[in-house]
Amino acid sequence: MSMFRFANPEYLYLLLAIPVLLILWAVNNYRRKKAIVRYGESNLVRQLIPDMSVIRPVIKLILQILAIVMIALMLARPQFGSKIEEVKREGVEVIIALDVSNSMLAEDIQPNRLERAKQALSRLIETLENDRIGLIVFAGDAYIQLPITTDYVSAKMFLSTINPYMVPKQGTAIGAAIRLGMRSFSPGQDKSRAMIIITDGENHEDDPVEAAKEAADAGIVIHTIGIGSPEGVPIMLNVNGRREYLKDHEGNTVITKLNENILKEIAITANGKYVRATATNLGIDQIFSEIRKMKKQELEGKIFTEYNDQFQFFAGASLILLLIDFLIMERKNRKLSGLKLFKLKI
């Protein structure tokens, strides 16, 4: 097994020069054809300028584009990982369960409950170093969005794709999310495991407190963050480009309220902490400060520690392409064209 990477991927932006080069070539070619037409009929002009070649400028353009590609790849320094080492780090495993039901679209916390939670989680992920993180989304059902990992780049990417439409069944199955989280931790780890549940706690369909008790018996700590207003607010939806309030089957506007009691009970049962989110502070930093007090466990993993550069091929190829481009003249060589080896004039 080997790992491929670019040591300096920023140089791949040089590839943007290719469309610029194509545009310049097209403009120049258009002007040249226009100039030929101005002097007379094109076939007659070509007879007056026998050394002019149509195909050579195209060949030179292709060579120049290939040279730019090779130079960009060379400067980006492609590398293959050749040595894997076992690494041991001390950290905790944290699974975040995020409510994606329609009630999380309420705008009592701007821009809405769900987007505010995603923003706070994204900032949290940027501060992680040795901890493992996993993502679960839930509404009427619970699904793993990202298995437990130290790949924080992927974690942010998967977090950004979360939306209310990824779980078709509506509801708030907190118990299902807890049980799925219990099964999602790394096997064999029996300490330093925590869950963070972010939800408004409304319309819970199962028995989350019983699930929290099962998690506590397994040594898993559960923290809860209540997001929303206990007084209740309507849920704003975008329908065909228009903003409308969510209504029930009878046409009444649906009001969503934060259910703090169930979230407090879950946290107490699973030895965790409950925090109510505000417009300025979601509470995720508060929760994570509690998690960092937990006893760290040794987390094993594999990383590539030695990489071999593979830029030499691209350096050689770019040099050869530029040399060929230099040797090919835009005009025909009368001595060479007289040879007619392949009965073809270029």
Read off the pLDDT of residues 62-108 as tens digits, 9 standing for 90 and up: 999 999 999 999 999 888 766 555 556 678 899 999 999 989 999 99
In contact, 105 and 114? CB cutoff 8 Å = yes
Q: Is the pTM of this model over 0.95?
A: no
Return the pLDDT at 296.
73
Domain boundaries 86-301, CATH class:
alpha beta
Instruction: Report the C-alpha gap between 227 and 63 in whole angstroms.
Output: 59
- Tell me which amino acid residue 46 is: R
Q: Name which of 5, 7, 3 is nearest 76 in CA terms.
A: 7
Residue ranges of the chain with pLDDT lower than 70?
A: 1-3, 36-53, 81-89, 188-191, 203-204, 297-307, 330-346
Q: Which H helix or E strand runs over 99?
A: strand 93-99
Question: What integer pLDDT is reported at residue 194 of this predicted model?
Answer: 95
- Please tell me the predicted confidence (pLDDT) of residue 333: 54
Residues 227/254, Cβ–Cβ less than 8 Å: no
Predicted local confidence at residue 88, as pLDDT: 63
Label residue 201 left, alpha or beta by phi (over 0 means left) and psi (-120 to 50 means alpha): left
Which is nearest to 66 in space by CA: 328, 272, 317?
317
- Contact between 236 and 107 (Cβ < 8 Å): yes
**Residue that is written with structure tokens 């309220």 in the block:** 257
Cα 256 from Cα 237, distance rounded (Å): 13
Q: Where in the chain is the domain with CATH 3.40.50.410?
A: 86-301
Phi, psi (deg, nearest 5) at residue 52 = -70, 130
Say what the pLDDT of residue 345 is: 46
